C-alpha cells in the first residue's frame, strides 16, 4: 500500500466516522487535488526516555525557495538534536526551517529531516502539521508500533563487483550541516563522507548526535528507489594507533574481548537488520593499525614500544580478523581494509610484507579472504592522487627520480600508481582477483597558487622533483592538519583501472589532532606531529611537522582547515 493510499483511507475513515454512515467516498469528495502538502512523521526508534524520528514533507503547492514546518506535541517531548534542518522549540510547539542547502522545494518535491527527542510518560504522535502556515494532511504517521513502509528498495542480498557503480552515496547530515554553515561551504555540503564509529558510544550517538541506526535510517530516506552506499569507518581497536598519540583510542592493549563484544558485535547486529538489506554498506576497517605493525614494530629504528606491544599480543591481527568475519557475514556489507598510502608502504621492504600481513589478518578469528571486498589507501591522509610533472622512471643529471630527497627510493610517487600496484601485490598474496581499491581524495588536491604548472628545473634531480611536485608537504610522512592542503577529486565511482571509487572517507574540516594538549574523555593524546613548532622524529626524517596551529582534538570541527581546503581545492570549486 502506498503512503498516498494510506492517507486517502485515513481520510475516508474520518469522513465515515463523522457522518455515522458508511457511504462510498471518492478522491474528488475528499478534495485530494487541493491537498497543499503532506507530512510523513515516523518514530523510528524509541526507548524509555527518548526517541529518534524521521520526517518527510511533500509540497503540492507553488515552488518554494525557503520553508518552515510546524507542529505541537500533546506531551512533554523535547527535540534534543536534529539534522538536515534548523530546529527551535517553545513549550510544545516545534518549528523546523530549512538549511541553506535545502531551501528549494519544488512543486511535488519532498524534503526529509530527522531528530532525536526526549520524553517521559507517553510519546504521543503530533496530529497537525503546517508548511509555511498552511495545514497539511498527514501522510502515514507511523510510530514505534506502526513503522510504516520499510521496503528498502532494490537489494538482492548478493554483493556486486563494485558497490559504488550506479549508486548514490550517503550524505551525512551532521557533517553537511557543519559544512553548509561555513562561508562558501554550500559548494560541497552535499558531498558524501564517511561516518566514523571511533568509540563504543558512537554506535548509539555521542552528545545527542546521530548513532548508527539513525544514519542508516537517514540513508534509507536519501535512497529513494535507487541504490545507496553508506560509508562507515570502523575504528576502535585495542591499543589503537600505536605510533600516533593524537588518535589513540578508548581501549587498552589487552581489551580485545571488549572490542569484540561491545563494539563489533553490536555494529554487526545493527547492520544485519533486514530493514537495511537494501543498502550497500561499505566499511573501512581499522585505519593505520596493520601498517603500524609493518613499519613501527620490531627492530626498525621507527619502532615504538606501544607498537611492539601490539605486535607481541596479536590483538591488531585478532581484532581485524574478528571484524572482517562478523561484518562479512552480513550479505550487503563490503569490507575494505585500510592499506595506508604510498608514503608509508611504497618502499620495497614494506610493500610485500604488508600484503602478507594483511592476508594473515584476513584469515584470523574465523575470517577468510572472501570477507574482504577490497582495500582503501590514503584514508585521512594527504598524498597526491597523481603527480603529472615527473614519473618514477625519469632521470635528471644522471640520477633517478628515486634518488631525490622527496621520493627517497620509494617506488611510487602518488596514490593512484601505488593503489593499482598494491592491488596486484595483494592478489599475489592470496586475495581474490576481483578485489577493488578505494582512494581517499578528501584532502589531497594541493591546488591554489602553490600548485606547479610543470616540472622543476633540471639542475638536479631534487630541483626537478621539488619544483614540480603537487604535494607541498615538507615530508611525505607528515600527516596532521597539513598546511596548504586542498580538497581533492570529488567522490566518483570506477574512475580508473582497479579503483572502485574515489571517496571522501575523512570528512573535510574534521581535525587530525590537537596542536597542544587538551584534556578530554575520548582517549585522545597530544601528538607533537600536530604541533606546528615540532622539529620532527625518525618517522619524518626529523623535518618540521607542517601542521596548522590552533587545531582542536581529532575528529572535532576545525573551521580554519576547512576554509583552507576549499581555497586550495583541485579541481577548484
Which residues are annotated as catalytic?
288, 512
For residues 546 and 473, is the Cβ–Cβ distance under 8 A?
A: yes
Cell of 16: 465515515
Bridge partners (DSSP) listed for residue 557: 510
DSSP-derived secondary structure letter, 198: -
Q: In angstroms, rounded to a whole number, what is the distance separating the alpha carbons of residues 472 and 467?
A: 10
Of 551, 544, 546, 472, nearest to 517 by C-alpha is 551
Residue whose C-alpha cell is 581529532: 554
Q: In angstroms, rounded to a whole number, what is the distance separating the alpha carbons of residues 339 and 324?
A: 15
Bridge partners (DSSP) listed for residue 68: 97
For residues 450 and 472, is the Cβ–Cβ distance under 8 A?
A: yes
Rounded (10°) CA dihedral 15, 16, 20, 21: 120
For residues 443 and 485, is the Cβ–Cβ distance under 8 A?
A: yes
Find the DSSP H helices in 296-449: 305-313, 315-328, 342-345, 348-362, 415-429
Q: Which residues contact 310 (CB under 8 A, 6 or more apart)?
A: 238, 239, 242, 253, 289, 292, 293, 297, 316
Cell of 477: 610522512
State the sign of the Cα–Cα–Cα–Cα dihedral 372, 375, 376, 377. Answer: positive
Strand runs labelled E in 30-85? 37-46, 50-59, 68-72, 78-83
Rounded (10°) CA dihedral 363, 369, 370, 372: 100
Q: In angstroms, rounded to a whole number, what is the distance separating the alpha carbons of residues 240 and 287?
A: 9
Backbone angles phi and psi of 135, in degrees to 5? -70, 135
Q: In angstroms, rounded to a whole number, what is the distance separating the alpha carbons of residues 249 and 209?
A: 19
DSSP-derived secondary structure letter, 54: E
Q: In angstroms, rounded to a whole number, what is the distance separating the alpha carbons of residues 342 and 188?
A: 27
Amino acid at each position: 500500500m502506498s503512503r498516498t493510499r494510506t492517507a486517502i483511507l485515513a481520510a475516508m475513515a474520518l469522513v465515515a466516522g463523522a457522518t455515522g454512515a458508511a457511504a462510498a467516498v471518492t478522491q474528488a469528495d475528499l478534495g485530494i487535488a487541493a491537498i497543499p502538502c503532506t507530512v510523513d512523521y515516523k518514530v523510528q526508534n524509541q526507548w524509555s526516555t527518548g526517541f529518534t524520528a524521521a520526517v518527510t514533507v511533500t509540497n503540492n503547492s507553488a515552488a518554494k525557495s525557503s520553508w518552515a514546518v510546524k507542529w505541537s506535541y500533546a506531551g512533554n517531548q523535547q527535540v534534543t538534536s536534529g539534522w538536515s534542518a534548523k530546529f527551535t522549540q517553545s513549550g510544545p510547539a516545534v518549528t523546523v526551517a530549512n538549511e541553506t542547502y535545502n531551501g528549494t522545494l519544488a512543486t511535488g518535491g519532498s524534503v526529509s529531516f530527522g531528530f532525536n527527542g526526549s520524553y517521559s510518560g507517553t510519546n504521543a504522535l503530533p496530529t497537525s502539521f503546517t508548511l509555511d502556515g498552511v495545514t497539511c494532511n498527514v501522510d502515514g504517521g507511523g510510530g514505534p508500533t506502526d513503522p510504516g513502509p520499510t521496503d528498502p528498495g532494490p537489494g538482492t542480498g548478493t554483493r556486486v563487483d563494485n558497490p559504488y557503480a550506479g549508486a548514490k552515496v550517503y550524505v551525512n547530515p551532521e557533517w553537511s550541516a557543519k559544512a553548509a554553515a561555513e562561508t562558501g561551504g554550500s559548494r560541497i555540503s552535499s558531498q558524501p563522507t564517511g561516518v566514523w564509529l571511533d568509540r563504543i558510544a558512537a554506535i548509539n550517538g555521542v552528545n545527542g548526535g546521530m548513532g548508527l541506526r539513525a544514519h542508516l535510517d537517514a540513508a534509507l530516506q536519501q535512497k529513494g528507489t535507487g541504490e545507496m552506499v553508506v560509508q562507515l569507518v570502523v575504528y576502535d581497536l585495542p591499543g589503537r594507533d600505536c605510533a600516533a598519540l593524537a588518535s589513540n583510542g578508548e581501549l587498552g592493549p589487552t581489551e580485545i574481548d571488549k572490542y569484540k563484544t561491545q563494539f563489533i558485535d553490536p555494529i554487526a547486529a545493527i547492520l544485519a537488520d533486514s530493514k537495511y538489506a537494501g543498502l550497500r554498506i561499505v566499511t573501512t576497517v581499522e585505519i593505520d593499525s596493520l601498517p603500524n605493525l609493518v613499519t613501527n614494530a620490531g627492530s626498525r629504528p621507527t619502532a615504538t614500544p606501544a607498537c611492539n606491544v601490539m605486535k607481541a599480543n596479536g590483538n591488531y591481527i585478532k581484532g581485524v580478523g574478528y571484524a572482517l568475519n562478523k561484518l562479512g557475514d552480513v550479505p550487503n556489507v563490503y569490507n575494505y581494509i585500510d592499506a595506508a598510502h604510498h608514503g608509508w608502504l611504497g618502499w620495497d621492504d614494506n610493500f610485500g610484507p604488508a600484503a602478507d600481513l594483511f592476508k594473515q589478518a584476513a584469515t584470523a578469528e574465523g575470517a577468510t579472504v572472501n570477507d574482504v571486498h577490497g582495500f582503501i589507501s590514503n584514508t585521512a591522509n594527504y598524498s597526491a592522487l597523481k603527480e603529472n610533472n615527473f614519473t618514477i622512471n625519469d632521470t635528471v643529471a644522471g640520477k633517478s627520480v628515486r634518488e631525490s630527497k622527496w621520493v627517497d627510493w620509494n617506488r611510487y610517487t602518488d596514490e593512484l600508481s601505488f593503489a593499482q600496484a598494491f592491488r596486484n601485490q595483494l592478489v599475489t598474496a592470496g586475495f581474490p582477483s576481483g578485489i577493488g581499491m578505494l582512494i581517499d581524495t578528501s584532502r589531497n588536491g594541493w591546488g591554489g597558487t602553490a600548485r606547479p604548472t610543470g616540472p622543476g628545473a633540471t639542475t638536479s634531480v631534487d630541483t626537478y622533483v621539488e619544483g614540480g611536485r603537487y604535494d607541498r608537504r615538507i615530508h611525505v610522512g607528515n600527516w596532521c592538519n597539513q598546511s596548504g592542503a586542498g580538497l581533492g577529486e570529488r567522490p566518483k565511482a570506477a574512475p580508473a583501472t582497479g579503483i572502485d571509487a574515489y571517496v571522501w572517507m575523512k570528512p573535510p574540516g574534521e581535525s587530525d589532532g590537537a596542536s597542544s594538549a587538551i584534556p578530554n574523555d575520548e582517549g585522545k593524546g597530544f601528538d607533537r606531529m600536530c604541533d606546528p613548532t615540532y622539529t620532527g622524529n625518525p618517522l619524518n626524517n626529523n623535518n618540521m611537522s607542517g601542521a596548522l596551529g590552533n587545531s582542536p582534538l581529532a575528529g572535532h570541527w576545525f573551521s580554519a582547515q576547512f576554509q583552507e581546503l576549499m581555497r586550495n581545492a583541485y579541481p577548484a570549486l
